[in-house]
Amino acid sequence: MCRIPGVGDQTGTDAYILTKYQDISLVLRDPDRFPLLSDEGDPSTRLEREIISSQGFADAVGARETLRPNRDIQKLHRQQLTDPWVGPTGALRHKTMVTRIANELIDSWRNDGSVEFVRDFAAALPQTVITKIIGFPLKDMRRLRKWEEAQVQRFVFGKTHRNLMPEEEERANAQALGEFHAYIQQQIDIKRTQRCDDMISFLIDVHFGLIKAD
């Protein structure tokens, strides 16, 4: 465990970077003692929220707080909407498709005598599978890869435990993520009239929420 004095989420508190499995497991399994805090106060994510919201996607920016405001609803949300597609209950559903894609990727380079394994298989396989499951066109994978990189840019290149980037990079990254939101909206509009066996088509018809007991 690494202690960073004076830079906790609340004034006058310290931050800690956990390095042992036992410590990480303890925090994840005790939400009452270690609640998941909102990132609205983080200056970097605040700028990202402002830019993406200004592009017309404020609802998407706040989806975590509105759709999954606590761990119980988050668990229900995952079990009902996510797991049947990309969770443990959905894994066998895609076995045939994953096997076919793996074989096609191997066939594309096995006679070449060499292969760039990460690019041509280790990365290409999950990217292709997830693209198919979600329902994005495979022809858009090059564009999607750019947006995938934008999603994790701060965690790869950001500084300090808050993953901060210079404001110019923050703005450029937020702009790219806004473009991704616009692309997703385009795909949703298409699926409204052209249903397929994919996650987007499924989610279009979902009304998710809890009925509170009197």
**Region 140-158 average pLDDT:** 91
What are the pLDDT digits (tens) for 150-169? 999 988 888 877 788 898 99
**Region 29-53 average pLDDT:** 74
Q: What is the overall mean pLDDT for the chain? A: 86
- Residue 42: the pLDDT is 57
Question: Any idea which residue has 């906790």 for tokens?
Answer: 8
- Residue 57: the pLDDT is 83
Residue 38 carries which DSSP code? P
The pLDDT > 70 percentage for the chain reads 92
pLDDT band at 39 (very low <50, low <70, confident <90, very high): low
- Backbone Cα Rg of the chain: 20
Model's pTM, two decimal places?
0.79
Question: Any idea which residue has 């993406």 for tokens?
Answer: 52
- Residue 105: the pLDDT is 93
Sign of CA dihedral 82, 145, 167, 5: positive
Q: How far apart are CA 151 and CA 176, in angstroms?
A: 9
Q: How far apart are CA 84 and CA 195, in angstroms?
A: 18
**Region 59-76 average pLDDT:** 77
The contacts of residue 4 (CB under 8 Å, 6+ apart) are: 14, 15, 16, 17, 161
- Residue 48: the pLDDT is 82
Q: Which residue has the higher pLDDT, 192 or 33?
A: 192
**Measured in whole angstroms, how far is the alpha carbon of residue 205 from the centre of its chain?**
21
Residue 52 near residue 181, CB atoms below 8 Å? yes
